[in-house]
């Protein structure tokens, strides 16, 4: 059975996303668009418009043309938007990378994405340069200033300060690049998909444009329930979600297109977050479950006036019914804590919170406009209402595919356009979707993806490790944390050595905070597939033993 969205469809634009965003910026050119939460520096839509054209002019001078890829290794900052938009004007794509990545991870993404240029914050410069030296395609690194890090005294050959980029004369007539909105890649975030190592997810102009309007429609629809006179362009919100993550990336694009003033946080800090909510009288916020935990439990929350808050949308990881209700009890002005569902391959969300008489806390909302869904059993048979199976989604936000990986694309996106999500759930009689399990092997740490295969490949490169399997174990603060089961080659390997080996190679959220357990062999099926369910049972048994020993 195919389920269609009951929500009114949103318009589908037939122009490049860069044109839409430039038009939106110029329409409200004198309005403040972005504010730095730390320095309080503001930029207007006019500033973003002109700087974006300057970035495009710089890229043209550097022979960065249609189809080229630039990698952004940056935390949330005012310069992020002109860099993305300038690249889009040129018909290029931005590969989104975490500023927390190590040199090892950056080298992988630079090479895999075929990046020609890198934009990075000053505090990431050293590791970016080391990684870029191993990538012959990279011809230029642009350094964005960081208020905490001293500027370079001299810039090496091939390294350019961002001030020099925006000093380029902008072309007021924009750049006449022939962009295919259905086929050309606009953004290239990385995801492990349902299994395996990180892969470049090809997001088109149409994908992002439609997702932006879906995102905006749900925000407007829910806020109008609380205030019939609500005007989205008069609102102010806060974005701590990193823009290299598809959730934060699509959120900021929506806010810019719809004229929402956005206060950017480079890193999450609870006191600064609450202080900013109080200062700007913020009503709507995009969050992740660990932030809901802080809002419901942390003592600092009581120091601030958060009475402006009305609607929180949580995503990136599951948020339980009790947690949502705890936030509402703690902050009575909050009318609704809704949960969205999505993934990078869906250009963020396919299901959004839908406030009503019974908002059904704990659900992942309803199917987004312009989208279709079906639920299938392991044999591929369509299921009905209240029957649990794998969630499949179809519509204009589905990725083009994985970069240079046709086989991996075919495994999750079928010939009829259905994306097989790897998540198990059901739809109830009112159209609300509930996620109950996961087929895919992904570990979610504070909403960030940690593919077991990536850590397993890394650990197998250690000379003292014979075999390994990585699983996610429950953790209140993080949702899940990685734990490794290791088979030694000899007897000299210690747990700390394994933990430190991983710590030196990958971002902090991929560290083995769940510990290391040495076992004689890894349980596998006849075909060689790791039987992770047995390891999860073993991890739970170990947890119980530790708890009892403390008692």
What is the pLDDT, as a whole number, of residue 73? Answer: 98
The pLDDT-based confidence of 50 (bands split at 50, 70, 90) is: very high
- Mean pLDDT calculated for residue range 63-73: 97
Tell me what percent of the residues of the chain surpass a pLDDT of 70: 98
pLDDT at 157 over 90: no
Give the model confidence (pLDDT) of 74-128 as tens digits: 999 999 999 999 999 999 999 999 999 999 999 999 999 999 999 999 999 999 9
Reported confidence tier of residue 141, pLDDT bands at 50, 70, 90: very high
Per-residue pLDDT of 244-284, as tens digits, reads 999 999 999 999 999 999 999 999 999 999 999 999 999 99
pLDDT (0 to 100) of residue 551: 57
Structural contact between residues 390 and 437, judged by C-beta atoms closer than 8 angstroms = no
Cβ neighbourhood burial of 520 (10 Å; 0-12, 13-18, 19+): exposed
Q: Helix or strand or coil: residue 91?
A: coil
- Split at pLDDT 50, 70, 90, the class of 441 is confident
Which neighbouring-strand residues pair with 70? 94, 117
Q: What percentage of residues in the chain have a pLDDT greater than 90? A: 79
Q: Which of 426, 458, 422, 461 is nearest to 443 (CA)?
A: 422
Q: What pTM was computed for the model?
A: 0.87
With 90 as the cut, is the pLDDT of residue 174 above it? no
| Two structure tokens written together for 80 | 């992020």
String of DSSP letters for 504-520: TTS-GGGS-TT-EEE-S
Q: Is 90 exceeded by the pLDDT of residue 169?
A: yes
Contacts of 180 (CB under 8 A, 6+ apart): none
Angle in degrees, 0-180, between the axes of helices 125-132 and 103-113, rounded to the nearest 10:
50
Pairing type for strands 401-402 and 389-395 reads unpaired
Q: Could you give the domains of the chain? A: 2-9+204-438 (3.40.50.12780), 17-178 (3.40.50.12780), 448-549 (3.30.300.30)
193 closest CA partner among 402, 389, 368, 372: 402
pLDDT in tens, 290-327: 899 899 999 999 999 999 999 999 988 888 888 899 99
| Contact status, residue 208 vs residue 253, Cβ threshold 8 Å | yes
Rg of the chain taking only CA atoms, in angstroms: 23
Distance CA 420, CA 413 (A): 6
pLDDT of residue 192: 78
């Amino acid at each position: 059975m195919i389920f269609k969205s009951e929500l009114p469809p949103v318009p589908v634009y037939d122009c490049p996303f860069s044109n839409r965003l430039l038009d939106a910026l110029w329409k409200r050119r004198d309005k403040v668009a972005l504010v730095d939460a730390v320095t309080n520096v503001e930029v207007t839509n006019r500033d973003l418009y002109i700087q974006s054209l300057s970035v495009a002019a710089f890229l043209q001078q550097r022979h960065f043309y249609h189809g080229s890829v630039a990698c952004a290794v940056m935390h949330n900052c005012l310069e992020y938007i002109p860099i993305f938009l300038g690249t889009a004007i040129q018909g290029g794509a931005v590969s989104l990378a975490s500023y927390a990545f190590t040199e090892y991870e950056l080298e992988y993404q630079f090479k895999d994405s075929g990046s020609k240029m890198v934009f990075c914050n000053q505090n990431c410069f050293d590791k970016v340069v080391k990684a870029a030296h191993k990538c012959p395609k990279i011809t230029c690194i642009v350094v964005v200033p960081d208020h905490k890090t001293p500027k370079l005294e001299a810039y090496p050959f091939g390294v350019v300060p961002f001030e020099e980029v925006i000093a380029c004369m902008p072309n007021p007539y924009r750049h006449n690049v022939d962009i295919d909105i259905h086929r050309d890649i606009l953004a290239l975030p990385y995801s492990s998909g349902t299994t395996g190592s990180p892969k470049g997810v090809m997001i088109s102009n149409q994908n992002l444009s439609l997702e932006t309007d879906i995102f905006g429609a749900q925000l407007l629809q829910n806020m109008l329930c609380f205030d019939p006179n609500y005007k989205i362009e008069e609102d102010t919100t806060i974005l701590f979600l990193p823009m290299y993550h598809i959730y934060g990336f699509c959120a900021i694009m929506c806010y810019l297109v719809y004229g929402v003033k956005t206060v950017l946080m480079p890193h999450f800090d609870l006191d600064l977050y609450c202080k900013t909510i109080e200062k700007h009288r913020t009503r709507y916020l995009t969050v992740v479950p660990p932030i809901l935990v802080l809002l419901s439990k942390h003592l600092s929350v009581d120091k601030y006036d958060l009475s402006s808050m009305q609607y929180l949308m949580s995503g990136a990881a599951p948020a339980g019914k009790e947690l949502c209700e705890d936030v509402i009890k703690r902050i009575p002005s909050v009318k609704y804590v809704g949960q969205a569902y999505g993934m990078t391959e869906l250009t963020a969300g396919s299901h959004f919170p839908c406030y009503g008489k019974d908002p059904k806390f704990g659900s992942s909302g309803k199917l987004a406009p312009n989208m279709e869904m079906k639920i299938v059993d392991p044999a591929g048979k369509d299921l009905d209402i209240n029957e649990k199976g794998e969630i499949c989604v179809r519509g204009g936000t589905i990725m083009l595919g994985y970069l240079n990986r046709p086989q991996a694309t075919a495994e999750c996106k079928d010939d009829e356009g259905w994306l097989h999500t790897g998540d198990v759930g059901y739809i109830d009689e009112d159209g609300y979707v509930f996620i109950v399990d996961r087929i895919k092997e992904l570990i979610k740490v504070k909403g960030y993806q940690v593919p077991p295969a990536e850590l397993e490949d890394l650990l197998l490169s250690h000379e003292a490790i014979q075999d390994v399997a990585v699983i996610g174990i429950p953790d209140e603060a993080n949702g899940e944390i990685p734990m490794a089961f290791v088979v030694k080659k000899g007897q000299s390997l210690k747990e700390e050595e394994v933990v430190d080996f991983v710590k030196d190679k990958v971002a902090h959220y991929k560290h083995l905070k769940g510990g290391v357990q040495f076992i004689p062999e890894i349980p596998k099926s006849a075909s060689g597939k790791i039987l992770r369910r047995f390891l999860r049972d073993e991890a739970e048994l170990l947890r119980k033993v530790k708890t009892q020993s403390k008692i």
